[in-house]
Structure 1
Amino acid sequence: MLILSCTALIFMGALSPPQDPEQRTPRALMIFIDGFVPAAIASTDTPTLDRLMQKGAWSLRARAESTTISGSGWSTFHTGVHWDKHGIPDNNFATPKTDKYPSILKLLKQKQPDAVTACAQSWKPIQKFLVAPAEPSHSGFYDYYQFNKDYFDERSCDDLCVTYLQPLLGREPLDLTIMMFGELDGVGHLDGNRHYHAGDPDYQRMLHMVDTRLGRLIASIESRPSYASEDWLIAITADHAGSQRGGHGRNIPEHREMPMILSGGTLVPGEIWPPPSAVDLVPTVLSHLGIKPDPAWGLDGRTLATSATKKPITAIGINLIYNGGGEEDRPFNGFVGQPDASIAGWEDPGWMSLIAYGAEGFLPVFNYPNASVGRGFFAANDTKNGARMEQTIDLTPIKDAFIQGCNFKLSALLGNRGPDGDSLRVHLTFLNDREERLETAELQTLTKGQRRGATCMRYAQALGLVPPDAVSVRVTVETPRRGGTHGGFADNIVLILQN
């Protein structure tokens, strides 16, 4: 809830010491909150989180792993790679690859062997496969399942973790500290997931407790004798969100969109756009600590909040579609045993994914007529229910150009795999200020007969006039609900307006 108490203003005000950040020692506190529903920040008394957001860079639509389950989410938080790399798509930990993709605790020590690290958390598999192999300088483990009979009593694994870290944060020269909260998810799951909702009193009560405990950690940091000469980054995210009755575990926005909050350092404050991915936290924290990621680590994310972010400008003569080639994210090696991408900059409610050129059984690597391709292409991962993504572009900054008459050109590379008969279309709709449909245009994949059964892509385009009363344009990439393996491919989607 964005209402600040006086105490919150006092202690959080100290998060930005006046000394030049470049002259201060960088340190970081990474906070993990299991099952964090983003809307609950507004509905709950959370003065600590509120102040961090007001001073920091943030998103309430950060993209979790497609499995939206703790095993994959906790592991991605530590490793900075998607689950096809770290090998933990679920809670079984059957084939972990954390020897090749270890925790950030270990990555830091590879570059800075004398770094002082600490971690406190409550889940045995994470301790076994990620924390213990990293050999942190300080490690507090309190088994979640020894404390989950009553989440609100004094026997709390989360509280014990915080109590363990408080004196360390107050006195030790910690370079990187990780605290993982687990009990909010537990409360959400109570009574058949009845409490997994931002408006639920028990969920709000537990989130308030998490916020208070986070405040205790920050108060310990501020009490450090050396605090004025240090530059602290507080980095917060989750493994998934959740929904009432449904819990979590589905590849839907209610489960996949989660908070990410970064406060401190030289980060540019404000909402992060496009919404970041779970894999972005590790490279961002490493960058703050002065570490340039080793390419051999294979990290999947990008460093966040190094400059102001907002939706791209709208102008005549440029491509108005953001990330029309899918180059903002790493593509995957097919569908089976692979994550489903959440496409940066697009409204992607689920199952529109990114596939790498050269993936077995898909498209080979080569350049196509009229366009050169990047690492991957868009493909539908679920045609039984249909797959869709879209983005809406505000045209009001260039509306005066429509008075003189304005043309549009929509183009894309479209294709499909040899024997598959499913299709994909790119649909354009101009809208007026009442959200009424005006002009439309559409590009569609060739049929199996037109392709003669070949696996291929073709360049397609549509031309037309922009309606003079258009104030926005919506571009949708979708597949019909027909069943089959997938619904076709798309790449290099471009929309240009010209006088």
Structure 2
Amino acid sequence: MSRGMSRRSVLATAAAASVAAVGSLATATTAHAAPPTLPDGTSKDKVLVVGIDGLRHDVIAAASAPHLKAMMANGTYGTSLLYANPMAATSSGPGWSTISTGVWPDKHGVKDNSFAGKNYTRYPGFLARLAQVRPQLSTYAAVDWKPLDAQGTVTAGADAKLVLDGDRDGYTGHDATIAADTESILRNQNPDVVFAYLGQVDIVGHNLGAASAQYRQAIDVIDGYLGRLLAAIKARPTYATERWTVIVATDHGHTNAGGHGGSTIEERRTFVLAQGPGIAAGATPGDTRLVDVAATVFKQLGIAPDPAWGLDGKPIQERSTDPFEALYPALAGRVDETGIPAGVLGWTHTAPSGWSVINSAMGTGGVAEWRGWSFATDEFWSRSQRDQSRELNVRSRGIFAVADSDEWDDKASSGPFDSTLVTPAYAVGGKSTVTLDFTTLYRQEGSQSARVLASWNGGTPTLVRSYTSDVISQPQSLGLSVPAGATSVSFRFHYTGANNWYWVIDGVKITAS
């Protein structure tokens, strides 16, 4: 949660006291009615989603966290980075909306904790979607950040819910209550889908910082709750005949000093961790995104999403077929980008097999990493310069191609930035149409140009599409008629600039019919 609102008005001294008392509070619960009675479940495929607010994944290693670490060993653990403004703040409203709906903020409309502009009617949360398409499922949600209920972000569509007020009463006791009630329901009832939200890690992050010992201690408390939920599932008398998937995710990170909402790497850190049928053990894919939670829930329940839902996510076990993903072994550390930590391996000029880069018209000098088309990760490229919309490259996954004349010109150079990325030749003989699909992030400035061209049978490239205005991380689909006598086609992405902006290409797919 971002605490410009009521959620983070807790005093640092109170947070410190609550964490110091964690040994007793980890098992204490706030007085309330008994857990609700859910409808009897109807599915052998079952899903538990545990949402931990403000858990910076790179701090988990320094905590004890045995249950999180066991899930990493037994499941798939994908880390990634969030957007930043102007798409949305790295706050809880946008983060949990992204997790729940399976789409990015430019679709669900939530940009901050005011929830102004929310579009849950068009993009409902996964529990609300399940109520529409599989109403016979038994579903439960428990939250102690009240907006997740009041705004309809998470609890909408649930058969039963527990809503507590951590802002008013404190999150330590309410998290314990959520853990106890969810444990009881998992052990003694027959739910099909459960969402349990836990907020105290974020509170400690706000008040004491992600670098504090208390933050690591709070992670251990929540990890203990996770362990109890996992044990409750395994203790079910029908466990042997059920197929359980457990997903853990967070909505944003934290600075070392405490706080989030901005564009630093630490604030943008998120992860999705899942174990269950069909999910590889010990996998750490580079192409996971926060939008993948909802898609994974649907996949594990045997539900094929309707394309009309407009999901941006994919199941966590499905790997990208993008040719750029083969470049991980070639990734290198910084050369001229001295502001990027030396240990971050995230760029290369090596093109995938069959691809090429033409730099014959490229100027000399400049920043080595960005001389002509490069291939990079979000972790590396978005560190090159904050707050210039590189953080908005949300629909790229893993490794992508980027031509960045702005960063290239940050070191002495002469001549223009003029570079062409060339695909392999694809067979189109006997076909009538060919379609080029890709995702792009493009920022226009001045006289720069960005053109897509097609070369039939190796001939002179012809223009397919020019970009003359910003395109902020959107899928593109360009259809062409196959000329008479054409047996092959290759495409070119030609970018020119002079200390202007950049062009990102990812997810290239070519089909002929």
Name the TM-score, length of structure 2 as normaliser: 0.60
Change (3 A) 1:209 1:338: same
Aligned mates of 2:507, 2:163 — CA distance in 1: 49
Change (3 A) 1:50 1:173: same
Aligned mates of 1:233, 1:56 — CA distance in 2: 10
Asked if structure 1 preserves the Cα contact closer than 8 Å seen for 2:101 and 2:124, the reply is yes
User: Per-residue deviation at 1:288?
Assistant: 0.5
Change (3 A) 1:209 1:382: farther
User: Per-residue deviation at 1:337?
Assistant: 12
Asked if structure 2 preserves the Cα contact closer than 8 Å seen for 1:324 and 1:491, the reply is no
Change (3 A) 1:228 1:265: same
Asked if structure 1 preserves the Cα contact closer than 8 Å seen for 2:48 and 2:194, the reply is yes
Asked if structure 1 preserves the Cα contact closer than 8 Å seen for 2:401 and 2:506, the reply is no
One-letter amino acid matched to 2:76: A
1:319 matched to 2:372: no
Aligned mates of 1:237, 1:493 — CA distance in 2: 25
Among 108, 126, 132, the residue aligned to 1:86: 108
Q: Could you say what the CA RMSD is over the residues aligned between the two structures, in angstroms?
A: 4.2
Structure-2 residue corresponding to 1:346: 399
Structure-2 residue corresponding to 1:26: 45
Give 1:414-433 correspondences, 5 Å limit: 417=468
Corresponding pairs, count: 350
Give 1:380-395 correspondences, 5 Å limit: 380=443
Cα distance per residue 1:399-443 (max 9 Å; x no partner): xxxxxxxxxxxxx9997638x9xxxxxxxxxxxxxxxxxxxxxxx
Aligned mates of 2:140, 2:401 — CA distance in 1: 36
Aligned-pair identity (%): 27
User: Per-residue deviation at 1:252?
Assistant: 3.2
Give 1:44-193 correspondences, 5 Å limit: 44-59=63-78, 61-66=79-84, 67-130=89-152, 134-148=156-170, 156-190=173-207
Aligned mates of 2:354, 2:210 — CA distance in 1: 44
SS in 2 for 1:74: helix
Change (3 A) 1:91 1:337: farther
Asked if structure 1 preserves the Cα contact closer than 8 Å seen for 2:233 and 2:239, the reply is yes
User: Per-residue deviation at 1:43?
Assistant: 0.2
Aligned mates of 1:94, 1:147 — CA distance in 2: 26
Change (3 A) 1:196 1:413: farther
Structure-2 residue corresponding to 1:223: 235
Unaligned residue ranges in structure 2 (runs of 5+): 1-42, 330-350, 358-372, 378-386, 406-422, 427-434, 447-462, 471-490, 509-513
Structure-1 residue corresponding to 2:383: none
User: Per-residue deviation at 1:250?
Assistant: 2.0
Among 288, 297, 301, the residue aligned to 1:289: 301
Unaligned residue ranges in structure 1 (runs of 5+): 1-23, 327-334, 353-367, 384-411, 421-456, 462-477, 495-499
User: Per-residue deviation at 1:373?
Assistant: 4.5
Among 287, 305, 323, the residue aligned to 1:275: 287
SS in 1 for 2:142: strand
Aligned mates of 1:287, 1:77 — CA distance in 2: 15
In terms of mean alpha carbon deviation, does 313-322 or 65-74 score higher?
313-322
Structure-2 residue corresponding to 1:302: 314
Aligned mates of 1:299, 1:175 — CA distance in 2: 22
User: Per-residue deviation at 1:303?
Assistant: 1.5
User: Per-residue deviation at 1:54?
Assistant: 0.6
SS in 2 for 1:374: strand
Change (3 A) 1:211 1:224: same
Name the TM-score, length of structure 1 as normaliser: 0.61
SS in 1 for 2:262: coil
